Structure 1
Amino acid sequence: MTRLTSLRQWLTERQLDAVLISSRPNKQPHLGISSSSGFVLISRQHAHILVDARYYADVKARANGYCTHLLGGQQTLASLANQIIAAENLQTVGFEGAQVSWETARRWQTELQATMISVSIDALRQV
């Protein structure tokens, strides 16, 4: 079973439409590089990598099976994630609550147009 297949099964078991991954150890297998920059948004249908210009070309070359999006300027996490949320009709999105600050979690709950649900980092690392 591939990493994406396992993660999508995990989403189904937890009744989530997608998960937003922000921590380095959980992003690295998807990005192909070790970086604190960027985000990975995995839904039941698609896998997205949102990364800034420093890593965009490298990640795009390595990210087979992922849609790569360029963060920067007006293309913020919120604007890009909301485009994906709308296009895929995502209602519930998990995020690594133990890995982000309270302020970041509150901002995502306000800015992102889905119900944001804190998920356990331990559960994510098992997939």
Structure 2
Amino acid sequence: MKSKRVDKARALINSAIRINDEAIMIFSKSSNPMNIADMVWEAYSKLEHAIILLKLDLGVEFSQRQESLEDPSDVGGLLVKASDNLVNALNKMDSDLHEVLMNSRSARDALKLALFQIEKGNL
């Protein structure tokens, strides 16, 4: 039986996916990427909360695998990478919480870098 923490993390990841996918859609149509900054922040915040819940449920800290992001200035690519990792995390939710945590962290890192690029104005 999964804990309430895992159930809450699942709900938060689902919400982050929905928000991030909406941001991708808006970003692909918008001439002003600043329109998605609040959405990306909200997805990032929900994902951070989910990561904390997963870490608490696992009770063990382990290092994050280092990934290189192909083009850190490609905000659209970073949002898609985050979305892919979030979907992968959700698909593993019932089988491998360590993998869920790793995918969630990768998604968080992509969102964090996207936010940095948006705030910096490098679009």
When normalised by structure 1's length, the TM-score is: 0.24
Q: Is the helix fraction higher in 1 or 2?
A: 2
Larger relative contact order, structure 1 or 2 (CA cutoff 8 Å, min sep 6) = 2
Q: Which has the larger radius of gyration?
A: 2
